[in-house]
Amino acid sequence: MSALSNSLAATDIASTMHPYTNLRQHEATGPLIIARGDGVRVYDDRGKEYIEGLAGLWSVAVGFSEKRLADAAYKQMLQLPYYHTFSSKSHEPSIRLAEKLVEMTPEPLTRAFFTSSGSEANDTIVKMIWFMNNGLGRPQKKKFISRVKGYHGITVASGSLTGLPGNHRDFDLPAIPVHHLTCPHFYRFGQEGEDEAAFTARLLAELEAVIEAEGADTIAAFIGEPLMAAGGVLPPPAGYWEGVERICRANDILIISDEVICGFGRLGTPFGCQKYNFTPDIITLSKQITSSYMPLAAVMFSEPIYQAIADNSAKLNNFGHGFTASGHPVATAVALENLAIIEEKDLMGNAARLEEKFQAGIRSFADHPLVGEARGAGLIGALELVADKATKRPFDPVGRAGAVANRIGHEEGLIFRSIGDQLALCPPMIVTEDDVAEIMARLGRTMDRLPAALAAEGIA
């Protein structure tokens, strides 16, 4: 390792607090410093090559070296590097992007509100719905329904919607009125003797029971990812989303589709709600909207919601919410170019065409003695590691096996995400058949080495 690398690592340890990190462990081990990217690959500061099997954080659709996005940012920087959208001000990139997103997203979504992250977007949705219901004279209609293992962000409101213990512990969350339903993951939460259809029926009955107990007039919205990603890549059981929509419509409960990861073709359809056949009132978008070259997110929502919010803003002479970077001109310009590339290169079609090959590669590990379940949809997949395949017994403590797998994966030149003991893959949407084959080969070498590595560390 070079003196520069040593210096950078030491400076990082001394000056930076990393998200989603055991900070004491980081002080001992230091960072993996990524120096550059090219296509589906990234390279560390020693020159080692990795296939970025998680597209950064589920997000770099067009790869790590798309010059058109750099050019779009540079051009916009020269023309108008920053302006806000407060107090009726605007600029062309945010106007054009809102128009484009209304065109791309399913009916009945007609309006866009921009933030810088999915967390901010979901936080905004909570406030929008509260503001709307207060204006409509329904101050009691404020509760949300989410799911265990759902991920919706890390701000106070969005972190409350999230259903992962690690995002709640010692943060005093949830801090808003939210009820978390059973996670719709049949492998882990199905009961003995229950088939998938019975599992779906039980989950829908649970939703109906919660609505009856809480009162439909107190529940504002149901929020969910079409496919749960950060919770471990969890596709819903058959009929689940259609049932959720039916129940919510019958009880005047809004449906929020969190498409931060599933959106823009990741599942082989333009949006995840189309994959699973439901119609949301609100969609959350981020990550692939700019391929994460710039921070940007959008809330897309229906005309009745907009009209109710607009009426209340007229009563109060203000909609008192927004961010300095809402609709940032450079971010929105990059998003427009990114979406143009996705369309011109037919990356949504590429995801659909490669789904069978990618999912077959994931399922090829189903018989591995450490794999409890191999699962996914589109270009997202995961392997769930278990200590005992027959009983589904997880490792204790959860996460140690995944950390070992993660380390071996890096040695084999593959970056995936270990979510506890679930190994998640979500490569850039520019992947080719050869890239998929190489991802699976590197994953295979990782899994071949894993049993001996776990035994050597006494993990069982």
Q: Give the whole-angstrom CA distance, residue 218 versus residue 231.
A: 27
Are residues 284 and 355 both part of a single domain?
Answer: no
Q: Is the pLDDT of residue 306 over 60?
A: yes
Are residues 151 and 291 both part of a single domain?
Answer: yes
Q: Is the pLDDT of residue 27 over 60?
A: yes
Note whether residue 8 is domain-resident: no
Are residues 41 and 164 both part of a single domain?
Answer: no
Neighbours of 232 (CB within 10 A): 24
Are residues 350 and 230 both part of a single domain?
Answer: no
User: What percent of the residues of the chain are helix, what percent strand, and what percent coil, each to the nearest 5?
Assistant: 45, 15, 40
Are residues 242 and 381 both part of a single domain?
Answer: no
Are residues 196 and 209 both part of a single domain?
Answer: yes
Q: Which helix (H) or strand (E) holds 146?
A: strand 143-147
Are residues 124 and 73 both part of a single domain?
Answer: yes
Tokens in use for 400?
A: 């140690």
CATH number at residue 424: 3.90.1150.10
Tokens in use for 213?
A: 């107990």
Note whether residue 262 is domain-resident: yes
Q: Check residue 1 and give its pLDDT.
A: 46
Q: Give the whole-angstrom CA distance, residue 420 versus residue 415.
A: 15
Q: Check residue 4 and give its pLDDT.
A: 53
**What confidence tier does 348 reach under pLDDT thresholds 50, 70, 90?**
very high
Dihedral sign (CA 132, 138, 139, 145) = negative
Among 244, 267, 239, residue whose Cα is nearest residue 147: 244
The 8-class DSSP code of residue 227 comes to: S
Q: Is the pLDDT of residue 344 over 50?
A: yes
Give the model confidence (pLDDT) of 145-189 as tens digits.
999 999 999 999 999 999 999 999 999 999 999 999 999 999 999
Dihedral sign (CA 184, 190, 195, 201) = negative
The share of the chain scoring above pLDDT 70, in percent, equals 99
Residue type for 38, please?
D
Give the model confidence (pLDDT) of 34-91 as tens digits.
999 999 999 999 999 999 999 999 999 999 999 999 999 999 999 999 999 999 999 9
* 415 in Cβ contact with 371 (< 8 Å): no
Reported pTM:
0.97
Are residues 41 and 186 both part of a single domain?
Answer: no
Are residues 179 and 75 both part of a single domain?
Answer: yes
Number of H helices, E strands in the chain: 16, 15
